[in-house]
Amino acid sequence: MAKRTIVPFGPQHPVLPEPIHLDLVLEDEMVVDVLPSVGFIHRGLELLCQKKSFQDMVFVAERICGICSFIHGVGYCQGIEKVMNLDIPKRAQFLRVFWGELSRVHSHLLWLGLAADAIGFESLFMHSWRVREKVLAIFEETTGGRVIFGAAKVGGVRIDISQDKLDQLAIALDEIQKEYEPLAKVFLEDYTVQHRWSEVGYLSKEDAHQLGAVGPTARASGLPQDMRKLRYGAYEDLEVEPIVETAGDCYARCVVRVKEIYQSLDLMRRVIHKIPAGEIETKVTGFPQGEYFSRVEQPRGEVVYYVKGNGTKFLDRFRVRTPTFANIPPLLQMLKGCTLADVPAIVLSIDPCISCTER
């Protein structure tokens, strides 16, 4: 048996934008065991519900993550709305789907860029982010924010998009798709990309199920799991078929995300086509009493919001289970048996969002 050494990976590692610490137990260059530790940027957001009114908590919920912020806000609002039995206007729900899917495109493009950078493909990285910039411009145009919009509120959305604007956005979406296509081709067909990712970080379907993988990580291992199939909000009227790959390696996870961008762009077109006219919010009276588990699909997977109201302005409990948190056990499974040089690529392949994980 080779000598075992422990190499610390993170919390400060140039490959990782965020702090997570992994103790990699190595035999020569082979990883045989991994011990994770999280908690470097715990912000105690869940306790804030006792200090902020349930309506102000939306802003806090949005700030759990800087990339999928809008969907965090929506998940929280949805929980409160179910507790209060509020009926949300259709238009608001469609707008939520629109921004939500646009967030997914933005998040996946960001991930594709980072992943390309991790394998030393700098030009692909820059071009992915160039396309992402156009998505951010749409955000800024419609909500005023590039990353955190403050568009969701309990009872609906705060901003409407006029029909003219929606038609313009449809054209902008086509442009984004046109610019994205050659890049998608590189991710799907380029030799060096496949060379780096295929058969790296394998996760079997059984492991994915047992260890509770969510989102693209689960779908790349052949689990057709997508919370949008629960038909929450406007997904009631929009059919979504989860994109599933069976290979279970880093490359499959990349392919799932590449294809999901097309799916999201398509969904947004359908939203623009189908969106009904009408109000964008319902009036909220009273305070939430009761509890609810709200599950929504984020770019990284399923996020669970637990809210419990006690009939006052402040919530009793507010709990978030973010997708990265669920994906860490599968990550540890993937890392066993890989070489040290593959660790960053595999860690990145679950699209880790440590700020989400630690709240």
Binding residues for other proteins, rule: CB under 8 A, are: 5, 7, 13-15, 29, 52, 56, 59-60, 116-127, 130, 133, 137, 140-145, 148, 150, 158-159, 182-183, 185-186, 189-193, 195-196, 340-345
What is the closest distance, in whole angstroms, from the C-beta atom of residue 304 to other proteins in the complex?
A: 24
Q: Which is nearer to other proteins, 120 or 337 (CB)?
A: 120
Sign of the dihedral defined by the CA atoms of residues 46, 51, 53, 55, in that order: negative
Burial environment of residue 71 by CB neighbours within 10 A (0 to 12, 13 to 18, 19 or more): buried
CA geometry: angle 167, 112, 236, nearest 5 deg: 45
Q: Which is nearer to other proteins, 130 or 231 (CB)?
A: 130
What is the closest distance, in whole angstroms, from the C-beta atom of residue 119 to other proteins in the complex?
A: 4
Q: How far apart are CA 222 and CA 216, in angstroms?
A: 10
Looking at residue 336, the DSSP 8-state letter turns out to be T
What is the closest distance, in whole angstroms, from the C-beta atom of residue 58 to other proteins in the complex?
A: 9
Q: How far apart are CA 246 and CA 91, in angstroms?
A: 37
What is the closest distance, in whole angstroms, from the C-beta atom of residue 99 to other proteins in the complex?
A: 13
What is the closest distance, in whole angstroms, from the C-beta atom of residue 195 to other proteins in the complex?
A: 6
Edge-first strand order for the sheet with 4-9 is 4-9, 21-27, 30-37
Task: With beta carbons less than 8 A apart as the criterion, state whether 154 and 80 touch.
Answer: yes
Q: Which is nearer to other proteins, 99 or 325 (CB)?
A: 99
Q: Which is nearer to other proteins, 149 or 235 (CB)?
A: 149
Q: How far apart are CA 14 and CA 95, in angstroms?
A: 37
Distances (CA, A) of 297 to 175, 225, 230, 321: 26, 10, 9, 12
What is the closest distance, in whole angstroms, from the C-beta atom of residue 160 to other proteins in the complex?
A: 11
Q: How far apart are CA 184 and CA 274, in angstroms?
A: 27
Q: Which is nearer to other proteins, 118 or 240 (CB)?
A: 118
What is the closest distance, in whole angstroms, from the C-beta atom of residue 63 to other proteins in the complex?
A: 8
Per the DSSP assignment, residues forming a β-bridge with 301 are 298
Q: Which is nearer to other proteins, 141 or 206 (CB)?
A: 141
What is the closest distance, in whole angstroms, from the C-beta atom of residue 49 to other proteins in the complex?
A: 13
Q: How far apart are CA 1 and CA 98, in angstroms?
A: 55
Q: Quick one: angle between helices 90-118 and 250-274, nearest 10?
A: 150
Q: Which is nearer to other proteins, 36 or 150 (CB)?
A: 150
Residues 6+ apart with CB under 8 A from 47: none
Q: Which is nearer to other proteins, 13 or 308 (CB)?
A: 13
